[in-house]
A and B are shown apart, each in its own frame.
Chain A
Amino acid sequence: MTPTRSSQVLVAEDLARRGQLPAAVAACYEALAVNDRDAFVHALLGHLMLEGDFYDEAIAASTQAIELDPDCSPAYLALGLAYDRRGGMWDQSVLVWHELAEVVPDLVTAHVQLGEAFAAAAFEEEAVDSWKRALELDPKEARAHYNLAIAALKREGMSTALPTIRRAGELDPSQDELFFSLLGLPAERLEFDVAKVKPEAEARLFAAGMLLRAEDFFGASDLVRLVLDENPADAGALALAAYAYLKQEAANEAMACALRALTYSAELPTALYTLGVVYSRFPGLAKHAARVFIALAKAAPQHSLTHVLLAESLLGLQRYGQAKQAYRAAVRLDPACVRARFGLAAVRLTEGGYAEAQWEMRRAAYYDTRRQGNFWRLYDAYAEGGDV
């Protein structure tokens, strides 16, 4: 049977969806005054308290929701997240995530969080199993990769962890976005007709960039070729060509194009990016990668990911102190950067800073789970009375 929501709940829900925390909390209390046994209101309240980082309150409200309706999946999510963000309640957290993973088996976050709760409670094997399960559901789940890397680091050291960190980096979609951001493309995707692109180098390169972002490598190559036919020394076009080769796993060609671009424009960020990424794929070229990424971080210091790339190359050289500085620069620019947080955690672990490492991983989870917005997905499904 589909659970019904009162008008007071709908008001609170609307305010909550719009992020109006105080008003939504007040509306929840008004709804509770009418019916204090409404699981929806308690679940909403749990979510709102979680949004305000008031974990004890979130735990109380979510627990109440679950007591009222043991099938209230959004309340499990809010409860588990509240336990994890609050810290020090790993045993309760394990139980909640375990329950949620059973109720909503395809909820990747539940498995990742379950793994983190296991790890915090020193059950490493169970933790690894949970992250592997998450990767079965979503092979690109970054936090599962990074957690596996950290687990490897704890067991066998940085050399074992590095390949996993690199693999997670390669799967990171924001790295491609960095390239397009360095290229100066707008964040939104624009529809355009290739045939109507102006016969000017700038317009063609812009269009080529848009096509590359849409993974239309042939269309992009045609436009780049037109630019290079007119000016073989166009560094921007060469950098685009390098990137196109990189995306098609043609590392040598990518390297050649990027190097050529840099002979014409030594600080061109797009060329530096592509060259650095190519170098970083070859462990023997780690030193070169670090040099290139130093130049990139100087050329584009406002992008957190340029510092992350630098830090990861420094990890390969075992320059942990410098890597830490670079990771910290990245976190300062973007506190929500999961990749930087986990990298920083890895460095802190090698230095013996366990609590800080643990904190960085918790912060990564904090931002990642906030970004995902799973609560509303579960809430809507629960409201409809169906499966997620």
Chain B
Amino acid sequence: MAQKKSGGKKPTAKKSAARKPAAVAPVEHVPMRNPDFPVGVDYYPLDEERRSWSDWYDRDPEPDFAAMAASRVSDVRVFVSWRCLETQVGQYDEDALERLERIVEAARAHDLKLVVCFFADDRLAEMNEVPWGKRRDSRTDDYLIQRELSLVQKIVNRYRAEPVIKAWDLGNEAFCSGFETEAALEKWVTELREAIREVDPERPVLLGVDPETLLRETGVDPRGAIDLCERAWSHLTAPYRAYIAEGPVTSGPATYTDSFLLRAALRDLPVVVDGIGVHALEFSAAEEAAYVRTALYSALMNRASGAMLRRWRDLETEKREPYFRDPFEVLVGVVDVTGAPKPVLAEVKRFAAVAARLDPRRYALAPERAAVVIPAERYESLPSLAGLFDPRACLQAYIAAKEAHVPVTVAREGDELGGYHALYLPSPGKLTPSMWADLSAFVQGGGSVVLSYGGGDVDPALREIFGVEFNGDGGPRHTFACRVAQPGVLGDLRSFDARMDLPHFGLVTASGAMVVATDATGSPLLTVNQYGQGKAVFIATPVERAIAQNDPWATPTPVRHLLRTVYGTVASAAGAGAMLECDMPEAELAHFLGEDDDILLILSHNAEKTTATITTPRTVATVQDVRGGAPAEVGGKTFGVPLGPNGVAALRVKFG
């Protein structure tokens, strides 16, 4: 609960309530769920490893759906088994259809919405292995695709007037990872979408893949296919986590990955964050709950249109010797194998209660005017290492911006930049000539750019925009040395020497730019150049990549401080900075602006208890938990918010 920071005493909301009874407020009707931010869950056909494909949803969904509804879950994704439904060519199994019907009825009975996924691979139920398919590839074989279209139309036709069906999901990522080219994927999506549209012109069609994780897994860029649909999904897969931020899920970079992928997936379509949950059994129940809490709030705070949990029920695995744990299977749910709820389900319920208070018609998230730009080289394949380095560097840049409390999003080289005031280009090896031209126009027009040197040669435009003369790559270094030459120009920078491997150091001389900091030998490390109406900041070493490629959990404190200070200062000067100040870098803020009051979500990315001190530009009259309770009077511009380990505060803030 909020604490007043100024004036010595720090009254809590409860204390102030005890001192002065709250005025009787009109009873506000609070919905159980937020229809604009539904929480859903994947409901897999098999919950026991010993079951066979023929046991597809061969159970009564009623108790599970009742428990979901009681936990404020709104959406359920179910998976069609082609193998069960079309046992022989053109012959649909009535028993299987009846099972699907049972699911629809259970959803109807509990006011749940269904997302029906047609082609999914859960690595257990063999849903697409039709025996008459003769092992042809169901993604590319024309005959099988025709059969797929028939199946899809049969189901869509059967439920075209069924209000319980919310959306049609063409395929999940495990299935789509079998596509080998963009063209094949787009062709498949186009044909299936058209087949659905012939029968159901209304309900949204989506492709349940994440543009970043699928690209990483297969080398196939699915953005074109996703753009053919009406909804997009983002999710973190176990292999992608191992690539981008392996490590504990309750602290450090791993806690930002879900929202980073969400931001990367947010383009023109609304995005649901899918697959929220841990990927392996090595976590305690408390760690599972902390991670899910972080992922759910990250979704809400970063413009997701909903959230889907990874699995409803733990998979009961066979205790076969010698190895019985397989991390690639979807094992971990929100209830255990007996159906008993795990702590994570209580988190989901609490989250849904908070989300229900966030009416998008009353509150709008403060706009993001700053963006981390993913370079186009990210899409290059080996032997270029850019495709491997860049996502990690971009994640670190995103984290630094979040630590500076800058409302930040993720853009791509080639995107329209007009809506931004500040851009971060983290350690790109190269940018396209058109991007340099865009940057030039952007800065001249009043935007601010931070570019860190990524190694190799640079474009001549560097001199023009950034005001530095490039004299070559100084090579790798083992110490990160910073000597501040112009204190205060780019925030509260401090000189330091830190043990850290730097893959490159660009040797530059200022040719118009101001040298703000140098290395230990006097070579410019940080320069700022006024170019047109805007500012261009150059960091002479790939600091974001260095953070990612060293140990992101043990980055020297001064290095992190340098990066977030530069990012924060540049964004503030460009009008893209934080509206609120917070003394705790690990606290992520989301400021929802309302007419009478604002809602402030504060999420701790720290597994320790802490207190965040928030400073606002206006005097805060009261602060109140959004779920209710008495408001705490503040009467100042600063107040403290105690946060538990990976804790969240959802506050209604009234200014006065």
Judge if A87 is at the interface, Cβ distance under 8 Å: yes
In the complex, what residues of B have CB within 8 A of residue A89's CB?
Answer: 327
In the complex, what residues of A have CB within 8 A of residue B327's CB?
Answer: 88-89
With A25-B383, A89-B327, A354-B283 as contacts: A57 and B388 at CB distance below 8 Å: yes
**How far apart are B92's CB and chain A's nearest CB, in angstroms?**
38
With A332-B557, A335-B551 as contacts: A90 and B325 at CB distance below 8 Å: yes
Q: Are A19 and B287 in contact (CB under 8 A)?
A: no
**How far apart are B321's CB and chain A's nearest CB, in angstroms?**
10
Q: Are B284 and A55 in contact (CB under 8 A)?
A: no
Judge if B71 is at the interface, Cβ distance under 8 Å: no
Residue interface bits A17-47, CB-to-B below 8 A is 1, else 0: 0010110011011000000000000000000
Q: Are A355 and B284 in contact (CB under 8 A)?
A: yes
Q: Are A55 and B551 in contact (CB under 8 A)?
A: no
Q: Are A52 and B283 in contact (CB under 8 A)?
A: no
Q: Are A52 and B385 in contact (CB under 8 A)?
A: yes
Closest to A352 in B: B284
Binds A, one of B4-12, B247-255, B292-300: B247-255
Closest to B388 in A: A54
Q: Are B549 and A53 in contact (CB under 8 A)?
A: yes
Q: Are B283 and A25 in contact (CB under 8 A)?
A: no
Judge if A283 is at the interface, Cβ distance under 8 Å: no
Q: What is the bound-complex CA distance between A354 and B246, given in angstroms?
A: 15
With A28-B383, A123-B322, A363-B551 as contacts: A86 and B248 at CB distance below 8 Å: no
Q: What is the bound-complex CA distance between A53 and B392, given in angstroms?
A: 11
Q: What is the bound-complex CA distance between A19 and B477, given in angstroms?
A: 12
**How far apart are B28's CB and chain A's nearest CB, in angstroms?**
39
Q: Are B553 and A56 in contact (CB under 8 A)?
A: no
Q: What is the bound-complex CA distance between A355 and B287, given in angstroms?
A: 8
Q: What is the bound-complex CA distance between A353 and B243, given in angstroms?
A: 23
Q: What is the bound-complex CA distance between A179 and B243, given in angstroms?
A: 39
Q: Are A353 and B287 in contact (CB under 8 A)?
A: yes
Judge if B239 is at the interface, Cβ distance under 8 Å: yes
In the complex, what residues of A have CB within 8 A of residue B549's CB?
Answer: 52-53
Q: Are B243 and A54 in contact (CB under 8 A)?
A: yes
In the complex, what residues of A have CB within 8 A of residue B554's CB?
Answer: 331-332, 335
In the complex, what residues of B have CB within 8 A of residue A278's CB?
Answer: none
**How far apart are B111's CB and chain A's nearest CB, in angstroms?**
36
Q: What is the bound-complex CA distance between A53 and B550, given in angstroms?
A: 9
Judge if B485 is at the interface, Cβ distance under 8 Å: no
Q: Are A29 and B383 in contact (CB under 8 A)?
A: yes
Residue interface bits B548-580, CB-to-A below 8 A is 1, else 0: 011101101100000000000000000000000
Q: Are B280 and A94 in contact (CB under 8 A)?
A: no
Q: Are A88 and B551 in contact (CB under 8 A)?
A: no
Judge if A85 is at the interface, Cβ distance under 8 Å: yes
Q: What is the bound-complex CA distance between A363 and B287, given in angstroms?
A: 19
Judge if B476 is at the interface, Cβ distance under 8 Å: yes
In the complex, what residues of B have CB within 8 A of residue A359's CB?
Answer: 247-248, 553
Say what secondary structure dominates the interface of chain A.
helix
Q: Are B284 and A57 in contact (CB under 8 A)?
A: no
**How far apart are B215's CB and chain A's nearest CB, in angstroms?**
13
Q: What is the bound-complex CA distance between A123 and B325, given in angstroms?
A: 12
Q: Are A356 and B282 in contact (CB under 8 A)?
A: no
In the complex, what residues of A have CB within 8 A of residue B326's CB?
Answer: 91
Q: Are B242 and A56 in contact (CB under 8 A)?
A: yes
Q: What is the bound-complex CA distance between A91 and B317, given in angstroms?
A: 15
Q: What is the bound-complex CA distance between A141 and B550, given in angstroms?
A: 25
Q: Are A26 and B383 in contact (CB under 8 A)?
A: yes
Q: What is the bound-complex CA distance between A359 and B385, given in angstroms?
A: 26
Closest to A48 in B: B385
Judge if B510 is at the interface, Cβ distance under 8 Å: no
**How far apart are A108's CB and chain B's nearest CB, in angstroms?**
24
Residue interface bits A78-107, CB-to-B below 8 A is 1, else 0: 000000011111110010000000000000
Q: Are A121 and B325 in contact (CB under 8 A)?
A: yes
In the complex, what residues of B have CB within 8 A of residue A352's CB?
Answer: 284, 286
Q: What is the bound-complex CA distance between A89 and B325, given in angstroms?
A: 9
State which size class the interface on A falls in: 35 or more
User: Within B72-120, which residues are at the interface with A (CB < 8 Å)?
Assistant: none
In the complex, what residues of B have CB within 8 A of residue A164's CB?
Answer: none
In the complex, what residues of B have CB within 8 A of residue A91's CB?
Answer: 322-323, 325-326
Q: Are A354 and B239 in contact (CB under 8 A)?
A: no
Judge if B382 is at the interface, Cβ distance under 8 Å: yes
Q: What is the bound-complex CA distance between A5 and B247, given in angstroms?
A: 38
In the complex, what residues of A have CB within 8 A of residue B286's CB?
Answer: 352
**How far apart are A211's CB and chain B's nearest CB, in angstroms?**
30
Q: Are B388 and A363 in contact (CB under 8 A)?
A: no
In the complex, what residues of B have CB within 8 A of residue A121's CB?
Answer: 322-323, 325
In the complex, what residues of B have CB within 8 A of residue A265's CB?
Answer: none
**How far apart are A65's CB and chain B's nearest CB, in angstroms?**
16
In the complex, what residues of A have CB within 8 A of residue B280's CB?
Answer: 87-88
Q: Are B553 and A363 in contact (CB under 8 A)?
A: yes
In the complex, what residues of B have CB within 8 A of residue A350's CB?
Answer: none
Q: Are B383 and A21 in contact (CB under 8 A)?
A: no
In the complex, what residues of B have CB within 8 A of residue A94's CB?
Answer: 322-323
In the complex, what residues of A have CB within 8 A of residue B282's CB?
Answer: 120, 354-355, 358
Looking at B238, B239, B322, B549, the one whose CB has the most chain A CB atoms below 10 A away is B322
**How far apart are B544's CB and chain A's nearest CB, in angstroms?**
15
Judge if B279 is at the interface, Cβ distance under 8 Å: yes
Q: What is the bound-complex CA distance between A29 and B383, given in angstroms?
A: 6
Residue interface bits B257-284, CB-to-A below 8 A is 1, else 0: 0000000000000000000000110111
**How far apart are B331's CB and chain A's nearest CB, in angstroms?**
11
Q: What is the bound-complex CA distance between A121 and B319, given in angstroms?
A: 12
Q: What is the bound-complex CA distance between A355 and B283, given in angstroms?
A: 5
Residue interface bits A313-348, CB-to-B below 8 A is 1, else 0: 000000000000000000110010000000000000
Q: What is the bound-complex CA distance between A217 and B388, given in angstroms?
A: 53
Closest to B323 in A: A91
Looking at A25, A88, A91, A358, the one whose CB has the most chain B CB atoms below 10 A away is A88
In the complex, what residues of A have CB within 8 A of residue B385's CB?
Answer: 21-22, 25, 52
Q: Are A87 and B382 in contact (CB under 8 A)?
A: no
Judge if B228 is at the interface, Cβ distance under 8 Å: no
Partner of B382, one of A25, A88, A363: A25
Q: Are B323 and A356 in contact (CB under 8 A)?
A: no
**How far apart are A301's CB and chain B's nearest CB, in angstroms?**
13
Judge if B607 is at the interface, Cβ distance under 8 Å: yes
In the complex, what residues of A have CB within 8 A of residue B239's CB?
Answer: 56
Partner of B250, one of A86, A122, A355: A355
User: Within B490-516, which residues are at the interface with A (CB < 8 Å)?
Assistant: 503
Residue interface bits B299-339, CB-to-A below 8 A is 1, else 0: 00000000000000000000000110111000000000000
With A86-B246, A91-B326, A363-B553 as contacts: A356 and B607 at CB distance below 8 Å: yes
Residue interface bits A156-195, CB-to-B below 8 A is 1, else 0: 0000000000000000000000000000000000000000
5 further A-B pairs in the complex, CB-CB below 8 A; given A86-B246, A123-B322: A21-B503, A122-B325, A352-B284, A353-B287, A356-B607
Can you show 21 pairs from A to B with CB atoms below 8 A apart? A26-B383, A52-B388, A52-B549, A54-B243, A54-B388, A55-B243, A56-B243, A57-B382, A87-B242, A88-B242, A90-B325, A332-B557, A335-B551, A335-B554, A353-B248, A353-B607, A354-B282, A354-B283, A355-B283, A356-B250, A363-B553
Q: A residues engaging B (CB < 8 A)?
A: 19, 21-22, 25-26, 28-29, 52-57, 85-91, 94, 120-123, 331-332, 335, 352-356, 358-359, 363
Q: B residues engaging A (CB < 8 A)?
A: 238-239, 242-243, 246-251, 279-280, 282-284, 286-287, 322-323, 325-327, 382-383, 385, 388-389, 455, 476, 503, 549-551, 553-554, 556-557, 607
User: 9 shortest A-B CB distances, which residue pairs?
Assistant: A88-B327, A335-B554, A91-B323, A29-B383, A356-B248, A359-B248, A335-B551, A86-B242, A355-B283
